[in-house]
């Protein structure tokens, strides 16, 4: 099915199920511990072994010697595979870091061996018996030092005469900011059970967001036909972008199974994940804004650097500055610095999460210079077109309404306009605001729907990473086919099913529901052919056409199947599609210790039709919570001498927890975007993290009068500037 033009009124505008709150249909499995996660799939194979990885203890160099004799002779050990035993495996285009093989070490905790044994304890103990010697070479690990030395900027875009605009400007600001490197820190570790025991067909029960991407990646890595590879990932315990691609767990488990001719399970230990898997790169950003005295912005100049292994893209923190606010002139530049740190790659809202954390502080700083209210300043500089390409209008944009609704509900008008002036006992009270933006990406997505034993069975390789995919796909089928939710059976995460969009980039929900809708229409066509009728209606489990009225599950004959892929047309290239929001935050900062406590947070979101307010709200709350962690505590601390992240576990890497989040509220605007998908829906899973950190920073400034520009906003950064005791 081709989606080649915006849709007008359709069945989803008269919905009885889509757009309505519904509890997760997989919720009972999760809360009872019966949802089948990768490492726990003991039902799928018998007689499996357990693998445990060994990581490099240097950041750059080569392995000169490995002796695994003692490990191979240890109790219960079935095999030891070292990096020197095989040549370097080919890398898919998606992987910047080498996955296994060869003597070259590119980063700390690169996998250099796997021990396979009867039990986890035996495998883990035997890894300590492997002797490794290295030839170490100097590496580059300091992003701040790279910023100081950087001479040229990789200009991404330049519109208008930026330099002239700054010369003419009546008001300008120019500041430098830092965001920290961050870990996905998902609850479920990277884990895989692999069965390659018969040497031809490789099956992996794994934790992965993108089934087809990973199947093709494994085909490249091992040099085998993709049709001989099967992946299953029905439940994923969090990914946030960290499980988009093939990681070391899958590679090591597959190699170990081929070697031992038995199934092998491998989970990456938590301290291993932080340095072996991917993360969000830290950034250094310089942002200049020029404006007239009336508050209209005339120019942006935003440059940033981030780190990456050679060949990587880093964290493009300037992308949103190209299109979020009005302004005739703008220049953006991002330079990815090659460093010998672990691989930086996609993490929830890659680019915008880091970029808006800076842009939205700068917008507040500029509003203060202009003597304007921060909300009104943003409203004044709203745009309904892409400023770089003014012929491209936004398909549907309600950012101003987000700001206005949020200000009204939050009580913004009661905010103290003088920083540091509101106090309750020993606590300084402040409020802050920030805008949110994330592009509304869609990807082609396929599905199959079958009529089987009184159920409509949905099959697609779409994944559920905690987002509610099972539920919204069931809602889509129930709505389109005129049945109840209980009459729909959703099956996900299997490479034997039609290829979907997968989960990532905020495109999963919008794309996969469109794909399932296309499959439902294909099924309706097959039913029409079977009954020899045209344009049948589907209501209350019945098929209606003319004088025919037959139960959907009573149609006789061979099994009815509808399969299709929703292809998104290039008509969308002529417009700008995005999601928008506004965050409002209230904090209390202890006047003596600098401790910051979030008191309440409100997010107002514009993301087209909300498919399920219950699951969508959960997604936005999760993003808001991650933004609070990014603001106040999260930072991968780099040992700039040895080149690794020192706080590589959940004890040292401090994410926001329940006690940090007293009150959160989400409001969805009632909007529709017919250019986005046939359901007029857009993704919302990453919008919640965009801009939230800046709202916290702006609230802290309003509370204390101390402007912090380096994340995380820890108390040590302002202790010497708090009021004297």
Q: Over 90: is that where the pLDDT of 573 sits?
A: yes
* Residue matched to tokens 């915006």: 6
Provide the pLDDT for residue 152.
Answer: 74
Q: Is 393 exposed, middle or buried, given 0-12, 13-18 or 19+ CB atoms closer than 10 A?
A: middle
Separation CA 165–CA 169 (nearest Å): 6
User: In the block, which residue shows the tokens 């020192």?
Assistant: 646
pLDDT tens digits, one per residue of 167-179: 999 999 999 999 9
pLDDT at 360 over 90: yes
Cβ contact 428:439 at 8 Å: no
**What is residue 379's predicted lDDT score, i.e. its pLDDT?**
98
Q: What is the mean pLDDT of residues 436-449?
A: 98
> Residue 441 has what pLDDT?
95
For the residues of 382-396, what is the DSSP string, one character each? --SEETTEEEEEBSS
pLDDT value of position 653: 98
d(CA 3, CA 702): 47
Residues 239, 245, 251, 253: what is their CA dihedral angle, to the nearest 10 degrees?
30
Those residues whose C-beta lies under 8 Å from the C-beta of residue 701, and which sit 6 or more positions away, are 364, 419, 430, 432, 707, 708
Cα-trace Rg, the chain: 27
Encode pLDDT of 69-91 as tens digits.
Answer: 999 999 999 999 999 999 999 99
Tell me if 655 sits within 8 A of 683, measured CB to CB: no
pLDDT for the residue 314: 96
Specify the pLDDT at position 723. Answer: 84
Residue 441 region, left (φ>0) first, then alpha (ψ -120 to 50), else beta?
Answer: beta
Question: Rounded CA gap, 403 and 413, in Å?
Answer: 12
Number of CB atoms found within 10 A of residue 13's CB: 15
As given in the structure block, the two tokens for residue 39 are: 């490492």
- pTM greater than 0.75: yes
Structure confidence at residue 164 (pLDDT): 98
442 and 510 in contact (C-beta within 8 Å)?
Answer: yes
List phi, psi (to 5°) of 275. -105, -20
Q: Is 563 assigned a catalytic role?
A: no
Provide the 3-class DSSP secondary structure of residue 660.
helix
pLDDT band for position 647 (cuts 50, 70, 90) = very high
pLDDT at residue 592 greater than cutoff 90: yes
Would the pLDDT of 399 be above 90? yes
Length of the chain: 725
How confident is the model over 442-471, as a mean pLDDT? 98
Please state, in angstroms and rounded to a whole number, the distance separating the CA atoms of residues 72 and 468.
Answer: 44
Question: What is d(CA 175, CA 362) in angstroms, rounded to the nearest whole number?
Answer: 8
Give me the catalytic one of 106, 259, 563, 686.
686
User: How far, in Å, CA of 690 to CA of 627, rounded?
Assistant: 7
Q: Place 549 in a pLDDT band, splitting at 50, 70 and 90.
A: very high
């Amino acid at each position: 099915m081709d989606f080649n033009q915006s849709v007008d009124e359709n069945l989803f505008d008269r919905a009885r199920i889509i757009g309505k709150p519904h509890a997760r249909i997989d919720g009972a499995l999760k809360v009872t511990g019966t949802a089948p996660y990768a490492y726990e799939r003991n039902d799928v194979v018998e007689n499996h072994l357990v693998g445990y990885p060994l990581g490099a203890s240097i950041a750059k160099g080569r392995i000169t010697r490995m002796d695994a004799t003692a490990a191979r002779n240890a109790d219960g050990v079935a095999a030891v595979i070292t990096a020197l035993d095989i040549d370097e495996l080919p890398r898919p285009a998606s992987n910047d870091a080498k996955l296994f093989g060869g003597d070259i070490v590119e980063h700390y905790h690169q996998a250099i061996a796997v021990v396979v044994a009867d039990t986890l304890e035996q495998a883990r103990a035997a890894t300590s018996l492997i002797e490794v010697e290295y030839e170490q070479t100097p590496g580059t690990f300091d992003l701040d030092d790279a910023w100081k030395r950087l001479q040229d900027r990789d200009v991404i875009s330049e519109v208008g005469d930026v330099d002239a605009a700054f010369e003419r400007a009546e008001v300008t600001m120019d500041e430098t900011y830092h965001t920290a490197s961050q870990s996905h820190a998902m609850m479920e570790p990277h884990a895989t059970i692999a069965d390659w025991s018969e040497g031809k067909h490789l099956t992996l029960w794994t934790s992965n967001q993108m089934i087809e991407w990973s199947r093709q990646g494994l085909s490249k890595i091992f040099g085998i036909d993709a049709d001989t590879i099967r992946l299953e990932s029905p439940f994923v315990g969090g990914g946030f972008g960290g499980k988009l691609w093939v990681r070391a767990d899958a590679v090591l488990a597959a190699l170990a199974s081929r070697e031992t001719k038995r199934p092998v399970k491998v989970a990456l230990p938590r301290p291993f994940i932080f340095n072996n898997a991917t993360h969000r790169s830290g950034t250094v950003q310089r942002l200049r804004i020029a404006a007239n005295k009336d508050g209209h912005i005339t120019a942006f100049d935003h440059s940033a650097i981030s780190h990456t292994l050679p060949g990587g893209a880093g964290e493009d923190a300037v992308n949103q500055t190209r299109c979020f606010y009005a302004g005739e002139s703008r220049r953006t530049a991002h330079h990815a610095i090659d460093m010998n740190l672990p691989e930086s790659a996609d993490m929830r809202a890659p680019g915008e999460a880091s970029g808006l954390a800076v842009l939205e502080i700068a917008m507040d700083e500029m509003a203060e210079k202009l003597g304007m209210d921060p909300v009104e300043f943003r409203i004044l500089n709203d745009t309904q077109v892409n400023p770089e390409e003014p012929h491209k209008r936004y398909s549907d944009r309600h950012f101003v309404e987000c700001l206005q609704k949020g200000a009204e509900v939050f009580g913004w008008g009661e905010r103290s306009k003088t920083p540091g002036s509101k106090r309750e006992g020993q606590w300084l009270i402040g409020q802050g605001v920030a805008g949110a933006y994330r592009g509304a990406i869609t990807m082609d997505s396929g599905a199959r729907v079958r009529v089987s034993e009184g159920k409509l069975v949905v099959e697609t390789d779409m994944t559920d990473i905690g987002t509610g995919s099972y539920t919204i796909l069931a809602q889509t089928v129930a709505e389109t086919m005129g049945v109840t939710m209980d009459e729909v059976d959703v099956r996900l995460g299997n490479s034997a099913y039609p290829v979907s969009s997968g989960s990532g980039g905020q495109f999963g929900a919008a794309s996969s529901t469109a794909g399932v809708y296309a499959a439902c229409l294909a099924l309706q066509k097959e039913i029409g052919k079977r009954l020899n009728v045209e344009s049948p209606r589907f209501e209350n489990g019945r098929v209606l056409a003319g004088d025919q009225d037959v139960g959907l599950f009573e149609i006789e004959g061979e099994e009815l199947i509808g399969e299709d892929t929703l292809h998104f047309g290039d008509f969308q290239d002529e417009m700008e599609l995005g999601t928008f929001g506004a965050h409002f935050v209230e904090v209390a900062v202890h006047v003596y210790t600098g401790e910051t406590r979030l008191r309440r947070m409100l997010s107002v979101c514009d993301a087209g039709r909300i498919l399920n307010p219950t699951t969508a709200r959960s997604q936005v709350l999760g993003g808001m919570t991650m933004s609070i962690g990014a603001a106040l505590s999260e930072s991968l601390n780099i040992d700039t001498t040895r080149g690794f992240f020192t706080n590589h576990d959940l004890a040292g890497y401090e994410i926001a927890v329940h006690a940090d989040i007293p009150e959160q509220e989400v409001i969805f605007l009632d909007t529709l975007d017919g250019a986005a998908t046939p359901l007029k829906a857009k993704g919302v899973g990453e919008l919640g993290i965009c801009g939230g950190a800046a709202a916290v920073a702006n609230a802290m400034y309003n509370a204390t009068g101390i402007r912090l520009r380096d994340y995380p906003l820890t108390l040590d950064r302002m202790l010497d500037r708090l009021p004297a005791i």
